[in-house]
Amino acid sequence: MTAAPRPWALLAELTHGCPLHCPYCSNPLELVRRSRELSTAEWTEVMRRAGEFGVVHTHLSGGEPLLRRDLAEIVTAAESAEIYTQLVTSGVGLDEARLADLIAAGLRSVQLSLQHADPAASDRIAGYRSFAAKERAAALVRKAGLPLGINVVLHRDNLDALDAIIQRGLDWGADRIELANTQFYGWALRNRDALLPSRDQLARARETVEHRRQRLDGTVDLVWVVPDYFDGVAKPCMGGWGAVSLTVAPDGTALPCPAAASLPDLAPPNVRDHTLEWIWDHSTAFNRYRGEEWMREPCRTCSRRAEDFGGCRCQAYALTGDAARTDPACALAPEHGVIRALTDTGQRAGARAPARTGGYVYRKPGGG
Ligand code: SF4
Ligand code: FES
């Protein structure tokens, strides 16, 4: 087994419960029931051990983490372990008293999701009337003086409104706006036909981002997470398998990336049964795609293998049925034709109808 440096980040998926039903949700198709979630004491222990293990940053995420009534206690546990806490939320359920409790517990920053600049379109994509709550949440966070990030998942249905979305984020006082093109696994893969943009849409969006970046001149951080079906290059997913961060799912399952629960033969360990040290250093799941020994051709001898790590294992599995194959997003991958066929089809469809909207399978327990 390859010795790996210790992780610095923990994605704590506190619950899969969520009032929203976004069709690109990064949670697995099989959502963890609330009755199987880790208890307050178990999350407290996860944070204590993570701090001892060298983790310095945690995203408190979900689902909607505000559904956990013990959220402030979990923040306190992270703060006691000297871990920086960022709340990743839809904004639904955040009021002044709740935010004050979280800040008193040690919360450091908030990342708020936004689906669209237009309230009705935002609510339609979320499958829940939530825009007003988001607007209120942004105002509360700014009033409290916490750093505010806005996170927007981009797709066919909102890319053409990108400039207005950026403006909405600026109006809300964001320090950072993350524009993340949809990654197609889990729910997003199920909704790929409705979400896949056209090349023209992406080209216009890139221009918008560049234009806005020049005007903002570094005063607000505009992050563009590149779409990985269109450039013929594989992304260095998660900075490499089991390389920099780990995810703990609501029931304590420990994963090298949030989507890895979809890999059928991974047998991921659980924090209820093992220490984080054992999970990180010795579990089969965290070692399976670490380093380069698992790679096949063309990755095995490719000059880019130390930069992109052969791409995304979950995408390789989703598109080829084998997580050890080269990510089909790469133009050198034997299965790259699968992606080309999709983007070419999307391009032709896009020429006819640039922004077909809706027709989603909304996220809900039981797989939609
Ligand atoms: Fe990356 Fe593998 Fe493609 Fe080379 S062949 S660019 S290592 S995904
Ligand atoms: Fe799992 Fe990329 S999402 S490795």
**In the numeric block, which tokens belong to residue 6?**
């210790």
Q: How confident is the model at residue 356 (pLDDT cuts 50, 70, 90)?
A: very low
d(CA 205, CA 197): 11
Average pLDDT over residues 76-96: 98
**In the numeric block, which tokens belong to residue 138?**
């942004």
pLDDT at 367: 57
246 CB within 6 A, ligand 2: no
314 CB within 6 A, ligand 2: yes
Which atom of ligand 1 is least distant from the CA of 310?
Answer: 8
**Which ranges of the chain does DSSP label H, i.e. alpha helix?**
40-53, 71-80, 96-105, 119-126, 131-144, 162-171, 187-190, 192-195, 199-216, 276-282, 284-287, 305-308, 313-320, 336-352
- Best residue among 13, 184, 314, 326 to mutate for probing ligand 2, ranked by most atoms within 8 Å of CB: 314
Mean pLDDT of all residues belonging to the chain: 93
d(CA 352, CA 26): 29
Is the pLDDT at 349 greater than 60? The verdict is: no
Which one, of 182, 190, 121, 157, lies nearest residue 368 by Cα? 190
pLDDT at 75: 98
Which atom of ligand 1 is least distant from the CA of 305?
Answer: 7
Is the pLDDT at 348 greater than 60? The verdict is: no
Say which CATH topology domain 9-237 has.
TIM Barrel (3.20.20)
**In the numeric block, which tokens belong to residue 266?**
């991974």
Q: Which ligand places an atom closest to the C-alpha of 305?
A: 1
Average pLDDT over residues 298-326: 95
261 CB within 6 A, ligand 2: no
> Do 190 and 361 contact (CB within 8 A), yes or no?
yes
% of the chain beyond a pLDDT of 70:
95
Q: CA separation (Å) from 306 to 192, 240, 260, 299? A: 30, 9, 21, 10
Mean pLDDT is highest, among 110-114, 235-239, 263-267, for: 110-114
Q: CA separation (Å) from 363 to 12, 120, 292, 315? A: 20, 19, 35, 19
| Residue identifier of the C-alpha nearest atom 5 of ligand 1 | 299
| Residue identifier of the C-alpha nearest atom 1 of ligand 2 | 314
Q: Is 57 helix (H, G, I), strand (E, B) or coil?
A: strand
**Residue 112 Cα to chain centre, angstroms:** 13
Q: Binding residue per annotation — 22?
A: yes
d(CA 42, CA 135): 33
For residues 356 and 180, the model is more confident at 180
Domain extents in the chain: 9-237
285 CB within 6 A, ligand 2: no
Distance 235 CA to ligand 2 centre (A): 10
Which residues, 6+ apart, have CB-to-CB distance to 249 below 8 Å? 13, 16, 32, 255, 258, 261
pLDDT in tens, 123-163: 999 999 999 999 999 999 999 999 999 999 999 999 999 99
248 DSSP β-pair partners:
12, 254
pLDDT at 346: 58
pLDDT at 365: 75
pLDDT in tens, 204-239: 999 999 999 999 999 999 999 988 788 899 999 999
Q: CA separation (Å) from 37 to 32, 61, 209, 269, 305? A: 7, 13, 39, 15, 37
| Residue identifier of the C-alpha nearest atom 7 of ligand 1 | 305
Distance 91 CA to ligand 1 centre (A): 39
Q: Binding residue per annotation — 25?
A: yes
The residue written with tokens 């020429």 in the block is 351
Handedness of CA 9, 151, 192, 234 (dihedral sign): negative
Distance 309 CA to ligand 1 centre (A): 7
